[in-house]
Amino acid sequence: MSRIHVTTTVNGDAVEFLADPRDSLLDCLRDQLNLTGSKEGCGTGDCGACSVTVDGTLVCSCLVLGVEAEGKRIETVEGMAKGNDLHPLQRKFIEHAALQCGFCTPGILVAAKALLAENPDPSESEIRFWLAGNLCRCTGYDKIIHAVQDAAAEMRGA
């Protein structure tokens, strides 16, 4: 099957790649662009480890085709820090020990950032329901919720 040329923007950089029409955006990010921060935990939209934003909308990149990225703005975990300045969520995840194996972490960080963009002061239950599509098998979520709450407070300047 012939591959399709795709031009898009990832974390602010203009990029291009060749995608098989069957390749997911996640495959393209990982295999074509070497952005392996986004993880594949299921490939069926159930675990959230592949979470990225496309034009600001939170998606499971395993459910988006690579060719759909044409002309879009993609943001992944690799774009969260500005140089060496970590995003408050990244700092708080380390500080609160909100990761054990860390495999869910990139997806949860991207999803939590999207939550805080929409709702800067989420309640515990709002965080839990927003992150319900991001599976973590290690932590029991407790420290993840605390880290998100703390990052939200810092970002609000509270």
Partner 1 sequence: MAKDETQGFRLIGTRPDRPDGLDKVTGRARYGADISAPGMLHAAVVRSPHAHARIVKIDASKALALPGVKAVITRADLPTGLTGEDWNLQENTLAGEKALYDGHAVAAVAATTKLIAQDAAKLVEVTYEVLPHVTDVDAAMAAGAPVIRAGTADHSVPEGMHPNVVKYIDFGHGDVEAGFAAADLVRAQSYKTEATHQGYIEPHACMAQMGSDDRGEMWVCTQGHWYIRRMSAAVLGVDASKLRVTPSEIGGGFGGKTTIFMEPLALALSKKAGGRPVKLVMSRSEVLRATGPTASASMDVKLGMKKDGTLTAAKVMFRMQGGPYIGSSPVGEALSCALACYDVPNVMHEGYEVLANRPKAAAYRAPGSPMAAFAVESLLDEMCRELGLDPLKVRLKNAAREGTKSSYGPTYNRIGLVESLEATMAHKNLLAPLGPNQGRGVASGFWFNHGGETSVSLAIGEDGTVTVSVGTPDIGGSRASIALMTGECLGIPYEKVRVNVVETGALGVNEPTHGSRATFASGLAAVEAARQAMAEMCRRAAAEWDIDPEAVEWRDGAAHPAGPNAGKFPPMSIAEIGAKMGGSGGPISGHHEVTAGGFGASFGVHVVDVEVDPETGRTTVLRYLVVQDAGRAIHPAYVEGQYQGGAAQGIGWALNEEYVYGADGRLQNTVFLDYRIPVASDLPMIDTVIVEVPNPGHPYGVRGVGETGITPPLPALANAIHAATGARLRSLPMSPPKVLAAIKAKAGG
Applying CB under 6 A, the residues found at the interface with ligand FES are 40-43, 45-50, 60, 62, 99-104, 136-139
| Residue 71 within binding range of partner 1, rule CB under 8 A | no
Among partner 1, ligand FES, none, what binds residue 60 when CB lies within 5 to 8 Å by partner kind?
ligand FES
| Residue 53 within binding range of partner 1, rule CB under 8 A | no
Q: Which of 90, 113, 116, 150 binds partner 1 (CB under 8 A)?
A: 90
Q: Is 35 helix (H, G, I), strand (E, B) or coil?
A: coil
Report the relative pairing of strands 4-10 and 13-19 from DSSP bridges: antiparallel
Closest residue by Cα to residue 18 from 34, 2, 36, 30: 2
| Residue 4 within binding range of partner 1, rule CB under 8 A | no
Stretch near partner 1 under the rule CB under 8 A, chosen from 53-61, 66-74, 123-131, 150-158: 123-131
Give CA–CA dist 137/53, Å, rounded: 23
Amino acid sitting at position 38: S
| Residue 133 within binding range of partner 1, rule CB under 8 A | yes
Within a 13 Å sphere around the CA of 3, how many CA atoms are in the beta-carbon half? 12
Q: How many helices (H) and strands (E) does the chain have?
A: 5, 5
Residues found near partner 1 in the complex (CB under 8 A): 20, 22-23, 27, 30-31, 35-47, 49, 76-78, 80-81, 86, 90-91, 93-97, 99-106, 109, 124-125, 127-129, 131-145
